[in-house]
Amino acid sequence: MNEAEATMDTDRGAIPMKDAETPFMADIKVAATNVDVFYGDTHAIKDVSVDIGDKAVTAFIGPSGCGKSTFLRCLNRMNDTIDICRVTGDIRVDGADIYDRTVDPVQLRARVGMVFQKPNPFPKSIYDNVAYGPRIHGLAANKAELDEIVETSLRRAAIWDEAKDRLSEPGTGLSGGQQQRLCIARAIATAPEVLLMDEPCSALDPIATARVEELIDELRANYAIVIVTHSMQQAARVSQKTAFFHLGSMVEYDDTETIFHNPSDKRTQDYITGRFG
């Protein structure tokens, strides 16, 4: 099955579609309105507005450098760690402005978790990697609870079976795909509501990619998931809604099916059909 999907991935012509049985627009989890981002003098994101639904996967696609990752990093204020970055506009999670002065980004990031492009397990044991978040946020009252959180997270990230016998071994010893699922487990362990994934499969081989995509689909039941990808097939496979970014602006945002079959903008169509990218 994995191999079949992998071959499809390379085949640009056939775009496999998800038969979307889930009801489409659920509650809005994250609402961004008129967001602009500046890196020093560079205007990186231009007036982007987007509503992200709960219990669904939203994909951001677009050519490299179009700003989709930058926008993603606004949603949990990861851009705060870059000195020269400045964000304006309004971003709300569950109706609350996350750029409000009273909001501590540290608390926000516990609720809006993030998985990165390259698997980045800490040079610690698998257990400590997953327990890191719950420990700093004080989610577990005792060791038994922590053990449970770790197990739950590893199960949800579909890596429990591979990791349960080697919890005390370093996380860096896992294979690339396992590392990425470990990172997903690590993000889940802080009990977030939203999961941001920045090209989570770009450093993985096709088989590992398929596992992670499956996992994303399972996780959809519990989280609002936003995934940045430059693989259109991946967006088509895992997401319900898709936003197309180009040169810092959001060109089009719609149901994934609509974007891939009936885009309203010429640029989207050109990108989908492979004229540029």
Partner 1 sequence: MVDMAALTKLHASPITATRVKARRRAETRLKIYGITAIFLAALALVTLLSSVFYKAAGALTESYINLPVTLSAEEIPVDDPGSANFGGLTKDVMKEVFPFVTSRRDRRDLYGLVSSGASFELQNKVKADPNLIGGVITFPFLLSDDADLYLKGFFGTLTSEDTDGALSISGNVTEVGEEVQLFSTANDFVAEVAVVKELLLIEAARVRADAERQERGRAVFTERAQAASTDEQREKLIAGATGYATQRDALNARADDLEDRALRPGGEEPLSSETPSLLLEVNGGWIDATRVSATGLVGEVVVPLFSDADAAPGEWVLHVMETPENARKVNDKQVIWLETLRSNEATETTFNWRFFTAGDSREAELAGVWGAIVGTFFTMLVTFFLAFPLGVSAAIYLEEFAPKNRFTDFVEVNINNLAAVPSIVFGLLGLAIFVTGVEFEVWGREIVIGGFAPRSAPIAGGMVLALMTLPTIIIASRAAIRAVPPSIRDAALGVGASKLQCTFHHVLPLAMPGILTGSIIGMAQALGETAPLIMIGMVAFIVDIPQGITDSATVLPVQIFRWSDFPERAFEAKTALAIVVLLGFLVIMNILAIILRKRFERRW
Partner 2 sequence: MIQITIFVVLLLTAAAYLTGRTRAVTAGGGALATLHSRPSYHGFYCAIWVLMVGIAAILVIAIIGGALIEARLMAAIAAADPTLSQIEIDLVLSDAQAIAAGDIASRSGDLRTAIAQQFISAETMRIWAVLVVGMGAALATFMVTTRQINREWRARNRSERIVRYMLVTSAAIAIMTTIGIILSLVGETLNFFANIDWQVWKYVFGLTWSPLSGVHSGEMDADKVGAIPLFAGTLMITIIAMLVATPIGLMAAIYLADFASPTVRSIAKPMLEILAGIPTVVYGFFAALTLGPAIRGLGEGIGLTVASESALAAGIVMGVMIIPFISSLSDDVLNAVPQSLRDGSYGLGATKAETIRQVVLPAALPGIVSAVLLGVSRAIGETMIVVMAAGQGANLTANPLEAVTTVTVQIVMLITGDTEAATAAGPAFTLGFTLFCVTLGLNFVALRIVRRYREMYD
Beta bridge partners of 31: 51, 92
Q: Does 41 bind partner 2 (CB under 8 A)?
A: no
Contacting residues for 113 by C-beta, under 8 A, at least 6 apart: 76, 187, 188, 190, 192, 194, 195, 196
Q: Report in angstroms how near the CB of residue 40 gets to partner 2 at its nearest.
A: 12
- Per CB under 8 A, the list member of 96, 106, 207, 247 interacting with partner 2 is 106
Dihedral through CA 257, CA 229, CA 51, CA 157, nearest 10?
100
Query: What is the C-alpha separation between 243 and 235, in angstroms, rounded?
Result: 10
- For partner 2, the closer CB: 47 or 193: 193
Q: Does 145 bind partner 1 (CB under 8 A)?
A: yes
Please answer whether residues 249 and 46 qualify as being in contact, where contact means their C-beta atoms are separated by less than 8 angstroms. Answer: yes
Q: Does 110 bind partner 1 (CB under 8 A)?
A: yes
Q: Please classify residue 254 by burial: count the beta carbons closer than 10 Å to its beta carbon, then call 0-12 exposed, 13-18 middle and 19+ buried.
A: middle
- For partner 1, the closer CB: 152 or 202: 152
- For partner 2, the closer CB: 62 or 192: 192
Q: Does 191 bind partner 1 (CB under 8 A)?
A: yes
Edge-first strand listing for the sheet containing 42-53: 42-53, 28-39, 85-93, 96-97
- Per CB under 8 A, the list member of 163, 167, 188, 250 interacting with partner 1 is 188
Query: What is the C-alpha separation between 9 and 5, in angstroms, rounded?
Result: 6
Query: What is the C-alpha separation between 33 and 88, in angstroms, rounded?
Result: 10
Q: Report in angstroms how near the CB of residue 136 gets to partner 1 at its nearest.
A: 7
Query: What is the C-alpha separation between 87 and 79, in angstroms, rounded?
Result: 8
Q: Does 104 bind partner 1 (CB under 8 A)?
A: yes
Lay out the site mask for partner 2 across 118-137 (x = CB under 8 A, - = otherwise).
x-xxxxx-------xx--xx
- Per CB under 8 A, the list member of 190, 229, 234, 239 interacting with partner 2 is 190
Lay out the site mask for partner 2 across 159-188 (x = CB under 8 A, - = otherwise).
------------------------x--xx-
Residue 132 binds which entry of partner 1, partner 2, none, CB below 5-8 Å type-dependent: partner 2
- Per CB under 8 A, the list member of 18, 46, 111, 166 interacting with partner 1 is 111
Q: Does 155 bind partner 1 (CB under 8 A)?
A: yes
Please answer whether residues 140 and 134 qualify as being in contact, where contact means their C-beta atoms are separated by less than 8 angstroms. Answer: yes
Residue 188 binds which entry of partner 2, partner 1, none, CB below 5-8 Å type-dependent: partner 1
Residues at the interface with partner 1 (CB under 8 A):
104, 106-107, 110-111, 136-139, 145, 148-149, 151-153, 155-156, 188, 191-193, 222
Positions touching partner 2 (CB under 8 A) are: 76, 78, 81, 83, 106-111, 113-116, 118, 120-124, 132-133, 136-137, 183, 186-187, 190
